Amino acid sequence: MREFIELIPCHRLPERCLYINGEPMPLCTRCFSMLLGYILMPFALLASVSIPLWIPIAMVIPLLMDGFTQRWKWRTSNNFIRFVTGLLFGIGQSLLISTIVWQIVNWLS
């Protein structure tokens, strides 16, 4: 499992990781929470949810704002913000994909 996780592109900076038993997780907080959001993808597909595209797009924007404002050194982020924005991004991206899939399915049928 560890070998699989190491294939995921992530900077793995210890100060940006959550800690378990005093050890940093193998992924940073943001990447970890994005993966949690992706777990919802099968549920979104099974529910055949079709929502307006602006909703998942809006869920992606906080991560972009947090990431870019931190990269441009306008401010410093923290693990709580990274977790929330990563989770929103993962859920938003999952919903975006499932919505597009269901729109294609409906269009083809």
Tens of each residue's pLDDT in the chain, 109 residues: 667 677 677 777 778 888 889 888 888 899 899 999 998 777 766 776 667 889 989 999 999 999 999 999 999 999 999 999 999 999 999 888 888 888 888 899 8
Q: Does residue 10 fall inside a structural domain?
A: no
Contact of 82 with 28, CB cutoff 8 Å = yes
| Total number of domains constituting the chain | 1
Among 96, 107, 86, smallest CA distance to 16 is for 86
Q: Does residue 4 fall inside a structural domain?
A: no
Which three-class secondary structure state does DSSP give residue 11? Answer: coil
Question: Would you mind telling me the total number of residues written for the chain in this entry?
Answer: 109
Q: Does residue 3 fall inside a structural domain?
A: no
Q: Does residue 44 fall inside a structural domain?
A: yes
Q: Does residue 33 fall inside a structural domain?
A: yes
Q: Does residue 76 fall inside a structural domain?
A: yes
Q: How many helices (H) and strands (E) does the chain have?
A: 5, 2
Q: Does residue 20 fall inside a structural domain?
A: no
Q: Does residue 70 fall inside a structural domain?
A: yes
Predicted TM-score of the model (pTM): 0.82
> What residues are paired with 23 via a beta bridge?
20
Q: Which domain holds residue 89?
A: 29-108
What is the rounded distance in angstroms from the CA atom of residue 108 to the CA atom of residue 26? Answer: 42
